[in-house]
A and B are shown apart, each in its own frame.
Chain A
Amino acid sequence: MIVVEGLIKHFQDSAVLSGIDLQIQQGEIIVVIGPSGTGKSTLLRCLNFLERPDAGRIRIGNLDVDAARPRKADILALRRATAFVFQNYALFANKTALENIIEGLIVVNRWPKAKAQARGREILERIGLADKADAYPASLSGGQQQRVGIGRAMAAQAEVILFDEPTSSLDPEWVEEVLGLMKQLAEERQTMLVVTHEMAFARDVADRVIFMEGGRIVEQGPPSELFSAPRDPRTRDFLRKVLANQAPLES
């Protein structure tokens, strides 16, 4: 279980996160939605300490981190317990698909090379890229690169995978294959926290949808409730704007 309490983050003088409280059960799939610039990505980045929170507390399993005074070891441990999937894939350009996936196993977890490679090939199989093991990122399509990015996160065997708008940089033709892989992970009950604008994915896959605005969680609930009967006017307003541009969401 993951517990976040009172997470606060400022950039210069403006508050980006003004006290986030959040609990994530093991195996839960949570989708975070909301207008741009409301701290969704910052929340994810704070959980991984890519951004340093100003205050708050993050508990994952036995790990208990005071965000205002983290020790170096805490930060490393937190990063190892949370895997990250980036909007722009962020693959290591000097490494092949297989090497990208097993880099963490070899360098961070200190697995022997043969064992890591065997595990890497299993993951390549699962993400449907078994034939691309030796391909470098530059020769892969956007969709393939993002699947490798997800494969790298899968290899970490983290408590939770944090997805930061994983399909936003993709050409439309590649979006489906990436969402499909994420659905597959969800069916395996991989704990996931997903920031996305893909409302259909949120409706079909999420256990819980969180609507954020102005650095706060405004409303949350199962997708069936949140999408059909949003309580807060801000949620209603946002959904009306977003759904006007997307296929209708009747189930």
Chain B
Amino acid sequence: MNVLDVDYMLGLVPVLLSYLPLTLEMAGAGMVLALILACLLAVVRVLAIPGLNALTLLFISFFRGTPLLVQLFLFYYGLPQLFSALTEINGITATILGLTLHFSAYMAESIRAAIVGVDRSQTEAALSIGMTNGQLMRRIVLPQATRIAVPTLMNYFIDMIKATSLAFTLGVTELMGATQKEAAGSFLYFEAFITVAVIYWGIVELLAWLQRRLEARFNEAYQR
């Protein structure tokens, strides 16, 4: 067995890190869009708006029920065949679209659960002092729902960062795609992939640390 080529790995780090912004861009855009969509879906579910509620359930069922990779191929290779205007869809856009729809389906359910999880009697108390529904949501329910939802939403964000590596299958040269190219050039597959694994791991640990700090702040009000 050959000894690990450490010098090659160290040299690879800055090369791979130059692709990190694209990875984070896709995950960041996907997360923001997914959050917005998920909030809308969650509100439809909480209020059980007739008609829309059924559509939302169908949407959630489909995007949770099929693999992300299938969805990405559907958007990138499949849609342009149906709509010629979409022939120009690039891999990055298709990835962001896929991440948004896929993860919003999961996040909608956890946001819904968080809203429902806020103690019902506090809602009554807010109404009893004459708050409107909007004031009730803004001042009482959403701040507390956020606290409940943050851990799971951060988990989805972490998942999403790793899922951006699938963009490589759509020909996007992001972190994973770049690693694959480097490895194919040097034949040092183990070194290349263990390096990229450590980079993903580091980002995720950084986020997990951020998550713990956020949770600690949110929990201040709940210490006995």
A-B interaction: yes
Chain A residues close to B by CB (< 8 Å): 48-50, 76-77, 79-80, 82-84, 86, 88, 90-96, 103-104, 107-108, 136, 138-139, 152, 156
- The 8 A-B residue pairs whose C-beta atoms are closest, nearest first, are A104-B129, A84-B128, A90-B121, A80-B130, A90-B125, A79-B130, A136-B221, A108-B130
Residue contacts A-B, CB under 8 angstroms, 23 given: A49-B127, A79-B127, A79-B129, A80-B129, A84-B128, A84-B129, A92-B122, A92-B126, A92-B140, A93-B122, A93-B144, A94-B140, A94-B147, A94-B221, A103-B126, A104-B131, A108-B131, A136-B221, A138-B223, A138-B224, A152-B125, A156-B129, A156-B130
How far, in angstroms, from A88 to B220 measured CA to CA in the complex?
A: 22
Identify which of B121, B143, B221 gathers the most chain A CB atoms within 10 Å of its CB. Answer: B221
Which DSSP category, helix, strand, loop or mixed, fits chain B's interface? Answer: helix
How far, in angstroms, from A243 to B55 measured CA to CA in the complex?
A: 58
Taking CB atoms, residues of chain B closer than 8 Å to A95 are: 221
Q: Which of A48, A88, A91, A139 contacts B128 (CB 8 A)?
A: A48
The answer to whether B139 touches A107 (Cβ under 8 A) is yes
The answer to whether B135 touches A107 (Cβ under 8 A) is yes
The answer to whether B122 touches A76 (Cβ under 8 A) is no
Taking CB atoms, residues of chain B closer than 8 Å to A107 are: 131, 135, 139
The answer to whether A83 touches B144 (Cβ under 8 A) is no
B142-164: which have CB < 8 Å to A? 143-144, 147
The answer to whether B222 touches A93 (Cβ under 8 A) is yes
Taking CB atoms, residues of chain A closer than 8 Å to B125 are: 84, 86, 90-92, 152
Taking CB atoms, residues of chain B closer than 8 Å to A103 are: 126, 129, 139
Q: How would residues 113 to 133 of chain B score, 1 for a CB under 8 Å from any chain A CB and 0 otherwise?
A: 000000101101111111110
Identify which of B122, B124, B129, B131 gathers the most chain A CB atoms within 10 Å of its CB. Answer: B129
The answer to whether A83 touches B129 (Cβ under 8 A) is yes
Taking CB atoms, residues of chain B closer than 8 Å to A82 are: 128
Q: How far is the CB of B136 from chain A (nearest CB, A)?
A: 9
How far, in angstroms, from A156 to B130 measured CA to CA in the complex?
A: 9
B side interface size, CB within 8 A: 23
Taking CB atoms, residues of chain A closer than 8 Å to B122 are: 90-93
How far, in angstroms, from A88 to B122 measured CA to CA in the complex?
A: 10
Q: How far is the CB of A60 from chain B (nearest CB, A)?
A: 13
Taking CB atoms, residues of chain A closer than 8 Å to B124 are: 50, 84, 86, 90
Q: Which of A76, A84, A138 contacts B222 (CB 8 A)?
A: A138
Q: How far is the CB of A141 from chain B (nearest CB, A)?
A: 11
Taking CB atoms, residues of chain B closer than 8 Å to A88 are: 121
Taking CB atoms, residues of chain B closer than 8 Å to A48 are: 128
Taking CB atoms, residues of chain B closer than 8 Å to A83 are: 128-129
Chain A residue nearest to B144 in the complex (CB)? A94
The answer to whether B129 touches A108 (Cβ under 8 A) is yes
B175-224: which have CB < 8 Å to A? 220-224
Taking CB atoms, residues of chain A closer than 8 Å to B129 are: 79-80, 83-84, 103-104, 108, 152, 156
Identify which of A93, A94, A156 gathers the most chain B CB atoms within 10 Å of its CB. Answer: A94
Q: How far is the CB of B177 from chain A (nearest CB, A)?
A: 44
Chain A residue nearest to B136 in the complex (CB)? A107
Taking CB atoms, residues of chain B closer than 8 Å to A108 are: 129-131, 135
The answer to whether B121 touches A50 (Cβ under 8 A) is no
Chain A residue nearest to B142 in the complex (CB)? A94
Q: How far is the CB of B180 from chain A (nearest CB, A)?
A: 47
